[in-house]
């Protein structure tokens, strides 16, 4: 059976030759959206309901998306259907120390619905630094959702200092979102014809 497709990437941004230790903290994110552009060095652009949001140092209202729509209409075997084109993305920017080393993890969790138990898809135990940079940017996506994946989800990202001045420091952020299936065109036509039929019956009774 088809597996979920997970994509991750990590970038860095130089902010001069600052030598003092910095505190591990969120500069932005995780911000949830439908696409990430990492083609410009030193920044990420993520598409949200508020339009394209560029990080790091985004300071507007919280743009993170909480509802994502998908159309599972391609067979993946044994009654399974999936959407091959829809992905949920997360992008973050983290303040880091120039000389510290960090472990970072991301976990995508399906929180479960009746008959469909919870499960996790994660990228564990990745290492960042020492890098000579003061901002680390991380992006991750998950896609190829099945028809049974509709319901509540969450994304949790954690950074932990494992050497250097930030040893033992840790930050975690969790974003909740909903995955909602859209009806196929044939289902929409059937629903529309049923509505018209009911309207005709009501006119006859009037």
Structurally, how many domains does the chain consist of? 1
Mean pLDDT for 180-184 is 83
CA angle 51, 56, 62 (to 5 degrees): 45
- Bond from prior residue into 56 cis (ω within 30 degrees of 0): yes
109-139 pLDDT per residue, tens = 999 999 999 999 998 889 999 988 899 999 9
Determine the pLDDT at residue 6: 62
With a cut of 60, say whether residue 19 has pLDDT above it. Answer: no
With a cut of 80, say whether residue 173 has pLDDT above it. Answer: yes
Residues β-bridged to residue 151? 179
- What's the mean per-residue pLDDT of the chain? 84
CATH code for the domain of 36: 2.60.40.3880
With a cut of 70, say whether residue 13 has pLDDT above it. Answer: no
Determine the pLDDT at residue 131: 85
- Bond from prior residue into 26 cis (ω within 30 degrees of 0): no
Predicted structure pTM score: 0.83
Give the integer Cα–Cα distance in Å for 28 and 172.
12
With a cut of 90, say whether residue 12 has pLDDT above it. Answer: no
Mean pLDDT for 25-48 is 94
Question: What tokens appear for 28 in the block?
Answer: 């932005």
147-170 pLDDT per residue, tens = 999 999 999 999 999 999 999 999
Strand 135-143 to 80-82 pairing: unpaired
- Bond from prior residue into 4 cis (ω within 30 degrees of 0): no
Alpha carbon 179 to chain centroid, angstroms: 11
Give the integer Cα–Cα distance in Å for 18 and 184.
55
Containing domain of residue 154, as a range? 5-205
Task: Tell me if 93 sits within 8 A of 57, measured CB to CB.
Answer: yes
Give the integer Cα–Cα distance in Å for 154 and 178.
8
Q: Of 162 and 18, which is predicted with more confidence? A: 162
């Amino acid at each position: 059976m088809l597996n979920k497709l997970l994509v991750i990437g990590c970038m860095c941004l130089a902010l001069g030759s600052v030598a003092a230790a910095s505190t591990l903290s969120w500069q932005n994110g995780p911000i949830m959206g439908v696409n990430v552009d990492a083609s410009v060095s030193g920044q990420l652009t993520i598409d949200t309901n508020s339009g394209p949001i560029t990080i790091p140092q985004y300071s507007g209202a919280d743009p993170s998306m909480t509802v994502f729509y998908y159309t599972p209409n391609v067979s993946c075997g044994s009654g399974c259907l999936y959407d091959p084109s829809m992905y949920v993305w997360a992008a973050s920017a983290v303040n880091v120390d120039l000389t510290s080393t960090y472990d970072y993890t991301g976990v995508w969790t399906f929180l479960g619905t009746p008959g469909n138990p919870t499960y996790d898809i994660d990228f564990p135990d990745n290492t960042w630094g020492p890098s000579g940079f003061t901002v680390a940017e991380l992006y991750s996506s998950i896609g190829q959702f099945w028809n049974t994946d509709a319901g509540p989800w969450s994304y949790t990202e954690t950074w932990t200092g494992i050497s250097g001045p930030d040893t033992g420091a840790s930050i975690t952020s969790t974003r909740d979102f909903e995955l909602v299936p859209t009806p196929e065109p044939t289902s929409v036509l059937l629903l529309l014809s049923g509505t018209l039929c009911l309207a005709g019956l009501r006119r006859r009774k009037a």
